[in-house]
Structure 1
Amino acid sequence: MIRVDALYRYPVKGFTPERRDSLVIQDDGRVQGDRSLVFRFADALEPADATFPKRRGLALMTFPSLARVDLTFDDRTQTLRLRVDDIDVEADLSQSGRERLAEAVTAYLRTTNDARLLEADGILPLGLLGDGRTARFQDRPRGFISLHGAASVGALDATVPAPVDDRRFRSNIVVDGSDAWAELDWNGRLRIGEVVFEVQKPIERCAAITANPDTGVRDARLLRVLTSEFGQDAPTLGILLLPADGGGTIRVGDEVVLDA
């Protein structure tokens, strides 16, 4: 039996996830509160639509040291807390609060191997965009819900000396009980809890998965491993979903039923 093993929400694009007992899937195909904030570069304008390319702000793909920042967001008080090394900042989404948070992230990045990236034209000062509620800063215009199988990550972990776990792949849903790579062959509809999804396509991965979530260092050539060791044409892990008949709530432990 295939079941939901873990659920994740990413309040700030490019930063660490929050593990959740449940997720609200919106009718528009996004997780409620997911990627509702983003640290934008100085020359990045407020987007007019519900998408925000990684090149316009902080992203794990280019700033792997972001993986070390412990992040929590309180939906009720609309406060964001960032903790890493000697930095521990909690602030609301007022203008002064946003500035404090941006200054804290900048101060941390200046101590890392990514510091040189801050010196490029148009990067500083960082700004914090978003209302903390609306899911709008996904890479893709449709947003999508992402899912992968725990067995697929386990198979990849067994091929490299560096530790590889679910956090590297930044999925919303992790399922257990399926064979490694089985989800790549899923098509049509599947039901998770009270939500029916339509499978869209596999997820082609970027350099973000090479960053160790504990050290913030690129320590595994996973893109090359996926193609060379597993015979993939492009480095792929996980699939994208959209709700087929409206949204709802999914929970850890929910059964995953294929071809619902």
Structure 2
Amino acid sequence: MIRLAQIVRHPIKSVGFEELASASLTKGRALPFDREWAVIHEAAKFAELTSWQPKMNFLRGVAGPELMAIQARLDEAEETVTLTHPRAGEIKLSPDHDGQRLIDWLRPLWSTDRPAPARVGRVPGQPMSDTPSPFVALLNHSSNRALGQHLGQDLSIHRWRGNLWLDCMSPWEEFDLVGKSVRIGEAVLEVQERITRCKATTVNPKTGRADADTLGALEQHYGHQDFGVYALVTKSGNIAQGDEVTIL
């Protein structure tokens, strides 16, 4: 029986991951507060953030590996985020009102040869994910373990910046879900496409340093650089860790 093992969101794009015990999914929407805010750098190709924009305009783990080691805790009622990092310590702030504090905290973690962080942006209801579609990313624990075996090390799930981690599947069985729907708890999601990965996944979320050639291992052993699948919520409902996952 397939189970929902973890629920993960990233309140600020590329700046911290947070595990949840439960969540409420809404038809046509992403996981609540996932990539709700983003840190815009000084070379961004737009003046104001009023709609979805490509990832190249924002701070990202692929360009600043130390960002991958940030953990987050969001207070949804206050819309404040507490961020922790092994070197930078802890900070609590409102992304809407304390943008400069966030930027100052991030500067030592960001590469000096990259465009500097400039401001924090938000488009309510439009996550600043890698695609404009309100996808929820489904990933498979067995695939992560299989890839780790090829690399000879345990891989943290947080390298992949996914949302819903499924257990009790065969390795790579998630790819067979494309074109199908799954029920998780009360919600239903339609699986749309595979997710092609970038070098951010080579970085260890505990250290903020690259230590595993995830892309090379995917290419060598499987002939692709895909990990996980994107899905759209087609029926609203609550989900929780341990929920049964049914393929419809």
Q: Shared fold by TM > 0.5?
A: yes
Could you tell me the TM-score, scaled by structure 1's length?
A: 0.87
| Match in the other structure for 2:227 | 237
- Say yes or no: does 1:152 pair with 2:143: yes
Give matches, 1:122-133, under 5 Å: 123-130=115-122
Give the letter aligned to residue 149 of structure 2: A
Shift >4 Å, 4+ stretches: none
Percent of matched pairs sharing the same residue: 27
| Match in the other structure for 2:91 | 89
Going from structure 1 to structure 2, the CA distance change for 1:115 and 1:161 (only over 3 Å counts) comes to farther
Give matches, 1:106-185, under 5 Å: 106-109=107-110, 114-117=111-114, 123-130=115-122, 134-185=125-176
Residues 59 and 117, structure 2, Cα contact 8 Å, conserved in 1: no
CA distance in 1, matches of 2:209, 2:65: 6
Q: Which stretches in structure 2 are left out of the alignment for 5+ residues?
A: none
| Match in the other structure for 1:216 | 208
| RMSD (Å), alpha carbons | 1.8
| Match in the other structure for 1:61 | 62
Q: CA deviation at 1:226?
A: 0.6
Give the letter aligned to residue 7 of structure 2: L
Q: CA deviation at 1:162?
A: 4.2
| Match in the other structure for 1:120 | none
CA distance in 2, matches of 1:213, 1:173: 18
CA distance in 1, matches of 2:205, 2:12: 15
Give the letter aligned to residue 94 of structure 2: D
Q: Which moved more, 1:63-72 or 1:234-243?
A: 63-72
Deviation digits for residues 188-210 of structure 1, max 9, x if unmatched?
21111111111101111111111
Going from structure 1 to structure 2, the CA distance change for 1:31 and 1:94 (only over 3 Å counts) comes to closer
Q: What SS does the corresponding residue of 1:35 show, helix, strand or coil?
A: coil
Normalized per residue, the structure richer in strand is 2
Q: How many matched pairs?
A: 244
CA distance in 2, matches of 1:70, 1:10: 9
Residues 6 and 164, structure 2, Cα contact 8 Å, conserved in 1: yes
| Match in the other structure for 1:4 | 4
Q: Which stretches in structure 1 are left out of the alignment for 5+ residues?
A: 118-122
Residues 156 and 204, structure 2, Cα contact 8 Å, conserved in 1: no
CA distance in 2, matches of 1:182, 1:21: 24
Residues 39 and 117, structure 2, Cα contact 8 Å, conserved in 1: no
CA distance in 1, matches of 2:198, 2:14: 12
